[in-house]
């Protein structure tokens, strides 16, 4: 039983990494089998086909990102401290977000079932940020005139857009510049970031 579970996990993780780097079309069953070291029969034992396997991989990326967000936004600290922790989270700017990259994939966004984990994860992110912004306002940490939900959406867009800028330049610098711009918009000074 454990070998079966291990094979399934390796298939999911291999697919997750491949769609993150190559997208839906660039993730062939052959590439998944090669990367996972699992045989074709095992793949079709666990999954009906490529869309089923990709959906499992997407769900895994969504679960991982949501767990990371829960840890940040349910942790200690004020609303502003939680927002800053999210913005300053160590990331591979050139690789981008494992969920955000899916949102730019035409095959994924055209399919309601494949788009769902992406949509749910970004909705969760915006909710977390919205609550933290409201907490920060209640504590007088950020401008009371900010509208929490639109500001949360803007912060999420800055992070995702920062990844796109970094990939376009093949440099992490545009990503870091975008993040520091977001902090500036919130009125966070370099001393506040520490």
What are the tens digits of pLDDT across the range 62-95?
Answer: 999 999 999 999 988 999 999 999 999 999 999 9
User: What mean pLDDT is reported for the chain?
Assistant: 93
| pLDDT at position 49 | 86
pLDDT tens sequence across 114-133: 999 999 999 999 999 999 99
Domains and their CATH numbers in the chain: 55-193 (1.10.357.10)
- Average pLDDT in the 91-109 region? 95
Dihedral-angle region of residue 140 (phi above 0 means left; psi in -120 to 50 means alpha; beta otherwise) = left
pLDDT exceeds 80 at position 193: no
pTM greater than 0.75 (yes/no): yes
Extract long-range pairs of 136-140: CB within 8 Å, 24+ residues apart: 136/78, 136/79, 136/80, 136/83, 137/79, 138/79, 139/78, 139/79, 139/80
């Amino acid at each position: 039983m454990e070998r079966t579970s291990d094979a399934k996990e390796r298939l999911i993780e291999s697919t997750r990494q491949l769609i993150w780097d190559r997208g839906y079309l660039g993730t062939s069953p052959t590439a998944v089998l090669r990367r996972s070291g699992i045989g074709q029969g095992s793949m079709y034992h666990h999954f009906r086909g490529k869309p089923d396997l990709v959906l499992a991989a997407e769900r895994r990326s969504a679960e991982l990102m949501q767990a990371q967000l829960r840890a940040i936004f349910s942790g200690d600290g004020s609303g502003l401290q939680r927002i800053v922790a999210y913005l300053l989270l160590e990331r591979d700017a050139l690789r981008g977000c494992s969920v955000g990259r899916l949102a730019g994939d035409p095959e994924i966004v055209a399919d309601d079932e494949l788009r769902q984990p992406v949509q749910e994860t970004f909705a969760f992110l915006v909710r977390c940020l919205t609550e933290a912004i409201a907490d920060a306002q209640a504590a007088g940490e950020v401008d009371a005139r900010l509208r929490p939900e639109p500001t949360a959406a803007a912060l999420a867009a800055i992070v995702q857009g920062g990844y796109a800028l970094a990939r376009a330049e093949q440099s992490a610098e545009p990503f870091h510049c975008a993040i520091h711009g977001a902090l500036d918009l919130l009125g966070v000074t370099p001393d506040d970031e520490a």
